[in-house]
Structure 1
């Protein structure tokens, strides 16, 4: 070793530190790759992504070959630095050489390359995978032996590396991904994706039309009244009942009935020929399940019933779709269903307005297990039927009853949230 020129030793030291930096950077880059983007690139035929994906299928082997290479380079660099120190200053220079080499490796072979790899993982990982794959094949026996011993040690600690895999994203994690997508996903599309994630947290009872607001055809009404109702109906489908909404006969498709009426073929006697049997839906059915049920049953309207079979209301496929994309017939900036924004920033809301929509629009933090409508929420808070002008606070939002009808709140005004005073 004494015959090796000093410049050649310095060159070897520099090369060893550079190789150590490559191993350190490749480790960080491969481990910080976005696995979902990596899978997408691999499916699109990106060769570097495919190589990296294969390496990451066995992370124990990948870490094994990287650490073998990294430690070998660092140990070799230490040996070369020792030779250089002995040549330049004898044994007294060993301590200084050790400190200087530690600082050099820390900066140039650890911190700098790993920071670069963390900031640009794909640029570092894909070229590194091109070198690491053949190197893993070449040194596989040594890597296998190292991994076997390491896995045996982990087994003593109760950890089985073969059972540890990539866990799927939870709903809340997926929500965070969508929220942080930024400009990659338009804001409207983000709201739609988040609404889809919320479908299984709401039931048909949350969005149904209450039974007292269900518009339908009473077969016991005057025939002129029935035909006028059909002609003026704003709905495509209408429930048909006899004597009362509890005696449901079915549902008619208004357009088909109007066509028969215009052709002079519709009479009271054959009206029932156009009625399709009713489709009943349990009140606790989640929205995502009900959407599938509508598709399976080839239906667009269902009658919501409780555990005793009593009719509670009506739900349609359009109601569920509006939970995802928003209202079809109103400007989302001005109104959401029965909630209308006023020029002063307040909202006028019908008593039948869904608490679910109020929570979404105003950010109310109210339990989903309570009342489903604003009217129910106000009655629960006051424990009586309020008079117009009555005010109360709901989640620090001032609510003023504007109009009542019979035994319910018909219209209320919702003002901006009052910020609670800071307590010293």
Structure 2
């Protein structure tokens, strides 16, 4: 080495620092690459992506070949830098070489290339994967030996290095990914995706039409009353019951009702013949499960029952889909009056309004783990049925009861207490 010119040694040292930068950047780039985008590119038959994916399936071997190469060039660079420094400065060159090379390697072979690779992992990882693949084959015996010793130590602490768990996301993590997508996903699509993820948090009880609002046909009414009710109805499907809503015996579709009404002498027997068998579903069924059941059983509407088999309301496929994409039809005048904005910034809300609807409309966070309506929330909080207008507070919300009708809160005034 003493006979080699300083210019050649300096050139070798420069090349070694470049190689060190390559190994450092390729390590960060390979491990920082977006795993889901990589899987997409692999499915698209991108050759570089396939190469990277193959190397990442055995991270122990990948890290082994990178660290073997990086440590080799760093140690060799240290030796050459020491020789150069000793020639120039004598014995003091050892300290000078150590300090200088440490700064050079830190800046040019570690921090800068790794930062670049972290910012643009694909630009670094894709071309580097071909070089690393060749090095892995060339140095495989040494990599195998190093990995064997390393994996043996890992097994002593209960870690299996060859077991590379696939990256998976739970619901909350996937929700964060969708929210952080920004302009990559249109806002309307983001809302739908989030709504789909939220289906498992919402049960049929939250979106059903309660039994007191169900419009159905009582088979015990006269045929004339039944015909008038069918003609006046704006619903495409109506439950048919015998005396009370708990005794649902069929579902009448508007298409079948039209055939029934064309009969010159319509009878109750003909009406029952036009109905289809009712489809029942528990009120606690999550919406994602209910949607799958509707699809599997080819149903459009279900009768919602509680644990005792009593009818609690009805739920339609349309109600579930509206949870995902929003309302299909504009609200009626009655629905618009459920939440009224007052001049003082408070809101006059119908007591039968679902709490989830209030939260969605006003971006509030009223509790939804108990009663489903505003009236139910007020009664549960008070622990008695009010017989006069009173005020109460639920969390950060002030509630003033304004009207009471038949032991039910008809209207209440709500304000968010900032």
TM class, shorter-chain normalised? Answer: over 0.9
Match of 1:159 in 2: 159
- Is 1:325 matched up with 2:304? no
- CA–CA separation in structure 1 for the residues paired with 2:37 and 2:263: 60
- CA–CA separation in structure 2 for the residues paired with 1:257 and 1:96: 97
Mapped contact 1:218–1:243 kept (Cα < 8 A): yes
- CA–CA separation in structure 1 for the residues paired with 2:248 and 2:200: 29
SS of 1:270's partner is: helix
Match of 1:418 in 2: 417
- CA–CA separation in structure 2 for the residues paired with 1:402 and 1:233: 32
| 1:312-347 CA-partner distances (Å, limit 9, x unpaired) | 11111111111111222237xx99888535375544
The structural deviation recorded for 1:263 is: 5.3
Mapped contact 1:335–1:341 kept (Cα < 8 A): no
Mapped contact 2:389–2:404 kept (Cα < 8 A): no
The structural deviation recorded for 1:63 is: 0.5
CA 1:51 to 1:235, structure 2 compared with 1: closer, same or farther past 3 Å? same
Q: CA RMSD in A?
A: 2.1
User: TM-score, length-normalised on structure 2?
Assistant: 0.94
User: TM-score, length-normalised on structure 1?
Assistant: 0.92
Mapped contact 2:25–2:113 kept (Cα < 8 A): yes
The structural deviation recorded for 1:15 is: 0.6
The structural deviation recorded for 1:151 is: 0.4
- CA–CA separation in structure 2 for the residues paired with 1:275 and 1:229: 15
Mapped contact 1:330–1:337 kept (Cα < 8 A): no
Match of 1:74 in 2: 74
CA 1:350 to 1:147, structure 2 compared with 1: closer, same or farther past 3 Å? same
CA 1:166 to 1:337, structure 2 compared with 1: closer, same or farther past 3 Å? farther
Match of 1:422 in 2: none
Moved more, 380-389 or 294-303: 380-389
- CA–CA separation in structure 1 for the residues paired with 2:409 and 2:163: 58
Match of 1:221 in 2: 221
Match of 1:408 in 2: 408
Match of 2:339 in 1: 340
CA 1:131 to 1:336, structure 2 compared with 1: closer, same or farther past 3 Å? farther
CA 1:322 to 1:126, structure 2 compared with 1: closer, same or farther past 3 Å? same
SS of 1:198's partner is: helix
Mapped contact 2:260–2:274 kept (Cα < 8 A): no
The structural deviation recorded for 1:394 is: 2.5
- Is 1:135 matched up with 2:131? no
Moved more, 217-226 or 207-216: 217-226
| 1:263-303 CA-partner distances (Å, limit 9, x unpaired) | 54633331111111211112221111111111121111111
| 1:101-135 CA-partner distances (Å, limit 9, x unpaired) | 00100000000000011111111111111211111
CA 1:339 to 1:180, structure 2 compared with 1: closer, same or farther past 3 Å? farther
Match of 2:254 in 1: 254
The structural deviation recorded for 1:414 is: 3.0
The structural deviation recorded for 1:255 is: 2.6
Mapped contact 1:252–1:275 kept (Cα < 8 A): yes
| 1:332-384 CA-partner distances (Å, limit 9, x unpaired) | xx998885353755444332222233334444445543111111001112233
Count of residues paired in the alignment:
416
- CA–CA separation in structure 2 for the residues paired with 1:89 and 1:407: 98
SS of 2:404's partner is: strand
Can you give the 5+ residue segments of structure 2 that lack an aligned partner in the other structure? none
Mapped contact 2:211–2:311 kept (Cα < 8 A): yes
CA 1:174 to 1:335, structure 2 compared with 1: closer, same or farther past 3 Å? farther
SS of 1:352's partner is: coil
- CA–CA separation in structure 2 for the residues paired with 1:381 and 1:15: 75
- Is 1:45 matched up with 2:50? no
Moved more, 311-320 or 93-102: 311-320
- CA–CA separation in structure 2 for the residues paired with 1:395 and 1:145: 63
Moved more, 393-402 or 188-197: 393-402
- CA–CA separation in structure 2 for the residues paired with 1:190 and 1:336: 26
Mapped contact 2:256–2:275 kept (Cα < 8 A): no
- CA–CA separation in structure 2 for the residues paired with 1:335 and 1:228: 23
Match of 1:149 in 2: 149
SS of 2:392's partner is: strand
- CA–CA separation in structure 2 for the residues paired with 1:369 and 1:85: 73
For 1:253-332, what aligned pairs fall within 5 Å after superposition?
253-262=253-262, 264=264, 266-330=266-330
Moved more, 40-49 or 133-142: 40-49
- CA–CA separation in structure 1 for the residues paired with 2:336 and 2:167: 39
- Is 1:349 matched up with 2:356? no
